[in-house]
Structure 1
Amino acid sequence: MGGVPSIPTDRTRTVQVIGAGYSRTGTVSMALALEKLLGGPVMHGGTQLFGREDAYVKLWCDVFANRNNKPVLMKLLREATAGFVAVTDAPATAFIAELVELYPDAKVVLVTRDPDRWYNSMQTLIKGGIGSMSVLKVILWPCPGWRWAPRWLKHLEKTRCSFHAVMLIFSDSILIHNEWVRNTVPKERLLTMELKEGWEPLAKFLDKPVPDEPFPHANDGEAMEKFAKGVFRTAILIWLGILGGTSLLAWVGVGAWRRSLMAV
């Protein structure tokens, strides 16, 4: 994915930056940049939900399931983001308004991108996926953490539709999302930028010194496709292990049954 899951060790730390950029706007690169500037763990959605333990991924499913129960939703959001200094990408981007309220001192960074290039990148991601939700449910069922992917992806699709009024991905979906963010987040808390601008606007907005190193670049379409294929291969190996073990137990059981019959 271009990064590894950041697991907080100090859960008293709170979110200082909310990454509001749509998926495929360089969310992993932004996560790595924020880790550098803020000196703490950053929750990048895809990396976390495909790399963390089963209980943490289920927690985000519970967050989605309680979207219409605000007291419970806010409690679960705080639990899911505790210890992180920033969040980027989905599923956090489905709860921008709630996170802005939950962390009133946090700043919001909206990374934008050329709509056509963004759309092409999204299509690469979609085409590189494993398959339909029904296929995913079967393939990922025995895989801790990954088995929740069909559920939270379905929740995410419904949530985006509810506040963007669009279900499918079009070239102007990113423009709709960006406009929604600008109408949701107070202007004084919002920075809109492109990754090609580098460290300076981000560091200035966060009142941090500009690092003396290149701005991070990670998670291109090829890496995403490679990751999806890796998930598929791992899931198949787990299924082969399950089926092979079941077949062995059945063979041993049949053999024992036959021997018992012969002894009678």
Structure 2
Amino acid sequence: MKVLVIGFPKTGTKSLHAALKKLGYKVYDYEHNFYYLRKQWIKILTREGGTKEDFYEMYKDVDTSMDMPACVFWKEILEAFPDTKLIFNERKTEDEWWASWDRTAENINNNKLMTAMAFLSPTAFSIFQYTHHVGRVTLGAPPQRFCTSFRGISPTVAKMRYRTHNAKIREFRETASKDQFLTFHPSEGWGPLCEFLGKPVPDEDFPYKNKGGSVLDDLLKDSPIFHQMKYEMGVLLAILVILVAVLLFRWLY
């Protein structure tokens, strides 16, 4: 683990993901933590719990991680990788953060394709199950229907969790070295980020992602994991159509 992004989602993390990837880092975002590490994370988020050794095994071959639940367990990951660099990002106010978070969560829950995939894709079904654990631990989410995520969260609880998370990070920042800790917002561009990481500045504009809460559309378009969900749904639908056709043929003839 070389870099850990410790700000909550909806604080510029998708832009930072794209920037770090451009700089050559292997990045684990939300969907990668789910797809590759969900068994380990479910162990950590439930009764059994996790250890420093678990976090080390999870991330020893990963350059960067971000988003929930990794950002919430930044201290535990830091214990496993004491030399990792930390990047902290936040919104101007907690109300602004909550409005952005709630809008994105509702976009996901109201997306008909995601609902269909929950029924027809084993991978999509699993990501909803995984997200139920993440939502409960990170934001106090109530029990969810199997095809919904982060629905019914109290804004008071969510903002308290966000506020407490950021306060603990600011407290840590007081004793952290400048070589290890960077407070960053994508609006600052390549300069501070590349200087902190010791990387040359790319000859292109800084990537700005998830404008207007487009994260789900971007994932459905670009993520190999979400492409797999759509593929699984297509295969199952094709099997169902063939099965219905065979049964109809037998009934008619």
TM-score normalised per structure 1: 0.69
Which has more radius of gyration?
A: 1
Provide the residue aligned with 2:149 in structure 1: none
1:127 aligns with 2:102: no
1:94 aligns with 2:83: no
Farther off after superposition, 202-211 or 149-158: 202-211
The 5-angstrom pairing of residues 73-88 of structure 1 reads: 74-75=53-54, 77-88=55-66
Q: Which amino acid aligns with 1:17?
A: V
Provide the residue aligned with 2:26 in structure 1: 41
Q: How far did 1:237 drift?
A: 5.0
SS of equivalent residue, structure 1 residue 93:
coil
1:243 aligns with 2:245: no
Structure 1 CA distance, aligned partners of 2:58 and 2:250? Answer: 45
Structure 2 CA distance, aligned partners of 1:252 and 1:245? Answer: 10
C-alpha spacing 1:94/1:141, structure 2 compared with 1 (3 Å): farther
Task: Give CA deviations for 1:101-123 in whole Å, capped at 9, x if unaligned.
Answer: 11111011011112243222212
C-alpha spacing 1:154/1:142, structure 2 compared with 1 (3 Å): same
Q: How far did 1:79 drift?
A: 4.4
Contact 1:43 1:81 in 2 (8 A): no
C-alpha spacing 1:227/1:244, structure 2 compared with 1 (3 Å): farther
Provide the residue aligned with 1:65 in structure 2: 43
Provide the residue aligned with 1:195 in structure 2: 186
Contact 1:74 1:102 in 2 (8 A): yes
Task: Give CA deviations for 1:210-262 in whole Å, capped at 9, x if unaligned.
Answer: 3343222112234235358887x94875664343233234335557xx8xxxx
SS of equivalent residue, structure 2 residue 71:
helix
1:143 aligned to 93, 107, 121, which one?
Answer: 121
C-alpha spacing 1:156/1:181, structure 2 compared with 1 (3 Å): farther
Farther off after superposition, 181-190 or 83-92: 181-190
Structure 2 CA distance, aligned partners of 1:117 and 1:213? Answer: 29
TM-score normalised per structure 2: 0.71
SS of equivalent residue, structure 2 residue 73:
helix
Structure 2 CA distance, aligned partners of 1:43 and 1:33? Answer: 13
Q: How far did 1:58 drift?
A: 6.4
SS of equivalent residue, structure 2 residue 210:
coil
SS of equivalent residue, structure 1 residue 109:
strand
1:107 aligns with 2:85: yes
Structure 2 residue ranges without an equivalent (≥5): 141-152
